Amino acid sequence: MRYPEGTETGGIKFLPLRFWVNVIKNPQFVFDIHKSSITDACLSVVAQTFMDSCSTSEHRLGKDSPSNKLLYAKDIPNYKSWVERYYRDIAKMPSISDQDMDAYLVEQSRLHGNEFNTLSALSELYFYINKYKEEILTALDRDGYCRKHKLRHKLEQAINLMSGSS
């Protein structure tokens, strides 16, 4: 089966691994909560099940397999079929233009503009960017699209504005 470009790597569908598994395992990234060790263990089982469901390779389970993999092993084939259908449906969807996407995001921003603390969000982004500044700038340099649109220069300008440098 062929998946949308860039969504599969190493036998695992990439989108769920990069986003949803991170949210499942780390709800504190999205919600203002404390995650106990028991909750962490339970979420690890859910995340592992999700990863196994998104894997394109078959996993042989035996008596030495981890219990968290054995717990939902009989359900994995059903979950895999859901994932297959999800990617098949995405592949059938028509592409949207950059202009339509921009218009949609502007509308969403307008509709939900009062729901976020923009200064707090900017502060968090600035903190993150400063922490990983070199890695981010290097990644922007390596990517052809980012170079074409001079994203490194734009980010450096934003960093200088936020830090008060000229």
**Domains held by the chain: number:** 2
What is the model's pLDDT at position 9? Answer: 46
Give yes or no: residues 84 and 125 share one domain. no
Range of the domain at 126: 118-164
More confident residue, 68 or 125: 125
Give yes or no: residues 81 and 143 share one domain. no
Within a domain: residue 155? Answer: yes
* Average pLDDT of the segment spanning 13-26: 80
The percent of residues in the chain predicted with pLDDT above 90, rounded, is 42
pLDDT, one tens digit per residue, over 68-87 is 788 888 899 999 999 889 88
CA dihedral (65, 67, 71, 76) positive or negative? negative
What is the model's pLDDT at position 3? Answer: 43
Tokens of 90: 């995405």
* Average pLDDT of the segment spanning 130-151: 93
Give yes or no: residues 84 and 143 share one domain. no
Give yes or no: residues 82 and 129 share one domain. no
pTM beyond cutoff 0.85: no
Query: Which residues are bridge partners to 9 per DSSP?
Result: 12
Give yes or no: residues 21 and 84 share one domain. yes
